[in-house]
Each structure stands twice: as C-alpha cells, then as structure tokens.
Amino acid sequence: MNNTVIDVHNLYKVYDEKTVPVYALNGVHLHIERGEFTTIKGPSGSGKTTLLNMIGGLDTPTKGYVMINGVNLTAMKGSELIDFRLHNIGFVFQSYNLIPVLTARENIEFIMLMQKRSSTAMKQRVDELLMQIGLLDKADKRPSELSGGQQQRVAVARALAAKPQFILADEPTANLDSVAASNLLDMMLRLNEEEQMTFVFSTHDQRVIERARRVITLEDGKIVNDTMPASVLHDPVI
C-alpha cells in the first residue's frame, strides 16, 4: 500500500525569468508520507512559504509538479482546483483568518457548510473537535472574545473539520506567547497521533522544530538537509 500523500517532483518557482531570474524554488523533490509531523525550516527568503503554497495549490510552479494522493494538483485550475482543496487540504495561517462575525462553532462549521454536509454531521464533528481542542465551553464566543492561542486552536479545528488528507501550517505559532504556542503544538501532536492527521509546517520557530518528527531545511530554494531526530527513530508514529 502506497502511503505517500504528497509527492513534489523537480519543483521550480522563478521570478523575473526574462531579466534577472530569482529562484524561489530550485529543483525541489519531496515525499510526505501519511501521518507525518514534518517541519520545513530555513531563513527568510529560503522558499518555505512558497513551497507550502505550491503543495496547497495556492500558487503555480514555473516547472515541475505536485501530486496529492496520486492526483496531479499542478494540472488543475479554476473550480476544479478550488473543489479539490476544499475536500483534501486544510490550512492554518499565522494570522488565524477566522471570520470575526461568526462564533467559534460557526467558524469550524464553515468548511463543512461549503461541502454541503448535513446539519447532524456538522454538529457531531464540531462538538468532537471542540472537545479535542479544549474549547467546548467557548463554542459561542466570537474571535474577539478569545485569546490568540484559543483563536489558533479554532483555526486548527476548522482545518480538521472536513477530514482533509493533510494540514499545511504556515508559521502557526508566530503570534503566540510561549505558553500558548506550547499548548497549541502539544494539541496538534495529539491530533496527529489520535487521528493520524498529516501535518506539514513552515516555520523558523524553534519550538515547532523541536517537536517535529522530520525536519527539512531549505536554503536558496533547495533542500539542503532532511533529517529525523534520533528520539523519533526510536519512537516512531505508527
């Protein structure tokens, strides 16, 4: 059985090709297996966010392709791409991106409403997620009534709501203090283990890197290191 969820092949993103080309990505090859908890790190301008955007279908490569569960994401456009992302990819951003006029429950429901799920299925899934993220008592609070850490927990629950193939998290701890960041990451690790959800992070935050089960380092648009911490080698996720 093939457990590869994400297959990135010879990916390039080049700006100003006709003048002085700038390589945001320069021949990236990458495979992510189901259930991974992986961090992509590197200095500013290394290509972290560009790579995440390519994997999520938010940007198109100059050359190369991205396969998601054997489906060529790079070949999709318009409504086909939007529909594929809706059902297969969850996103978590550093700015939370919650809808301010909606409650925590309604924000989590939002993706499932777009999927036209039944009200019974939505309620069951949202209650389950609110319990998992420890915010069942905050279900009717709007984002302005929640702390930054609580808002990011809701954002993670929203990303998980539709049971996507994987979660892409771009600097999810950037706006959080150390306690909130630690709690968020512990929660994500628990969800990774309990739901076998695949997480791929883009970050320079050492707190995220220390919890990763695989660390990929980018420099100048190229992968220069791909390692699994020694502690993980002796205690793998099954």
- The predicted model scores a pTM of 0.88
Give yes or no for residue 238 having a pLDDT over 50: no
Per-residue pLDDT of 64-100, as tens digits, reads 999 999 999 999 999 999 999 999 999 998 888 999 9
Distance between terminal CA atoms of the chain? 15
- Per-residue confidence (pLDDT) for residue 142, from 0 to 100: 97
SS3 content of the chain, % helix, strand, coil (to 5): 40, 25, 35
Whether 237 shows a pLDDT value over 50: the answer reads no
Q: What is the mean pLDDT of residues 46-63?
A: 95
Average pLDDT value for the chain: 91
Tell whether 57 is covered by a domain.
Answer: yes
Domain assignment present for 111: yes
CATH of the domain at 86: 3.40.50.300
Q: Please name which of 187, 229, 223 lies closest in space to residue 210, comparing C-alpha atoms.
A: 229
**Residue 161 falls within a domain, yes or no?**
yes
Tell me what the mean pLDDT of segment 6-28 comes to: 92
Q: Please tell me whether residue 197 adopts helix, strand or coil conformation.
A: coil
Residue 141 lies in a domain: yes
Query: Which residues constitute the domain of residue 104?
Result: 4-233
84 within some domain: yes
pLDDT of residue 30: 96
State the pLDDT at residue 101. 97
Phi (first) and psi of residue 174, to 5 degrees:
-60, -35
Q: Is the pLDDT of residue 230 over 60?
A: no
Count how many domains the chain has: 1
Residue 91 domain flag: yes
